Amino acid sequence: MMRWFVAWFALSLGVGTTAHAALPDFTDLVVKSTPAVVNITTIVDGKPQPQAQIPDEMRQFFKQFGMPEPSSPGNGHSAPMRGQGSGFIISADGYILTNAHVVADADEVTVKLNDRREFRAKVIGSDKTTDVALIKIKADNLPQVSIGDPGQLKVGEWVLAIGEPFGFENSVTAGIVSAKGRALPQDNYVPFIQTDAAVNPGNSGGPLINMRGEVVGINSQIVSRSGGYMGLSFAIPIDVAMNTAEQIKVNGKVSRGRIGVSIQNVDAELAESFGLKKAGGALVSEVEPGSPAEKAGVEVSDIILQYDGKPIERSFDLPRLVGATKPNSKVKIAVWRKGAMHELTVQVGEMPSDKAGVDGKDKTEMAGLTVTPLNPDQKRQLGIQSGVLVDEAQGIAARAGVQAGDVIMAVGNTAVNNARDLASELDAKSHKTVALLIKRGDGTSYIPLRLE
């Protein structure tokens, strides 16, 4: 008994055993990283609700007894919806990365910095396919994150997640990389990083950081039966996100390659039936007529094993590689056909843009305004030389008093004739409030519009 106690005591002190490695200290990483992490609040204005109709027999009842009709439920607008998320600053002049779903349909986006300053943000663009959005605030000399290389991540490596779960600002959680290149249902273009760092609603858009203090991913999704964290968190690799952001910034859209095939995974049984030594590749089940694949000679039952020199281990590897290829590029692919390897050259096409998923100048950047240019006849009838017709006014524009049917003739003393003119003038103003010259009916007046 005494021998057992001595052995246990020695083990507890590390005597005669290999010293255990100390747990990592994250304090320096947190101090370095948190100044560039932001909290994002969004507002989606209430939408018009249909007015409930009172049945005719009820109308007769109230009329018969001289009673006023009750007010109809459902008329007016629904209450504005608020949302919260996270993001991080990628440039000192105010560009911020977050998730597309954080700012989706938002009429207002507000960014709060670590130093408690708040700014109205503009959505430069968003891409639903990768769930990446680029937003911007008017500020300079901001702290920014360091960008890392997700390709160097190793399974088992420690990582940090910083964000605003359930509204708790600047919360830090730690975990390890659980897996790389993870495919999720309906996400064919993102090789997710899986971690066990606790991520909850509000963490979306926040950074995933390695032990060198570099951002390696954007926390995006969880798998949960309860709605909260259950040990499975997924982040978009930062190289995928930065590529998307750069395309949005430069081109106003995201271009992706396509070759026009339907594919499926190759399991062991299929591999044996096609004469492959091991399972792998992407089995072509359909070739779109007239597609780049058909023109290159790809056939149904081909198994694509390589694309541009890169192996296709699983079928979902192919869409990622094709999507990342610049349209019109010529790429060599290796296919397994009837027991032999064949090399084909395909000229990659371009995937049609998802106009709803990639937005350049949107309602948020136009201060909640949707406008239509006036033709010369309309201007002549109205007796004006410039102006745009307001089709819809939401957010800050509606609160300022702008209405659908108004004509915006100028911003300050600068005439506007189209949406681009209006956006340019609103964007160019350095002060927080601008004056819109509005024609409504027979009268004209200035309406002050507070931009921030």
List, by residue number, the catalytic residues. 101, 131, 204
Adjacent-strand bridge partners of 113: none
For 234, how many CA atoms within 13 A lie in the half-sphere containing its CB? 18
Interior CA angle at 324 toward 318 and 329, to 5°? 95
What span, in angstroms and rounded, lies between the C-alpha atoms of 165 and 162?
A: 9
Give the helix/strand (H/E) hosting 61: helix 56-64
Q: Which two tokens stand for residue 344?
A: 């084909």
Tally of helices (H runs) and strands (E runs) in the chain: 11, 28
Asked whether the beta carbons of 96 and 121 are under 8 A apart, the reply is yes
State the burial class of residue 283 (Cβ atoms within 10 Å of its Cβ: 0-12, 13-18, 19+). Answer: buried
**Using CA of residue 97, residue 98, residue 103, residue 108, what is the dihedral sign?**
negative
CA nearest neighbour of 318 among 248, 264, 363: 264
Give the helix/strand (H/E) hosting 31: helix 27-33
What span, in angstroms and rounded, lies between the C-alpha atoms of 83 and 101?
A: 10
Taking CA atoms, 28 is separated from 140, 196, 345, in Å, by 25, 21, 50
What span, in angstroms and rounded, lies between the C-alpha atoms of 348 and 328?
A: 5
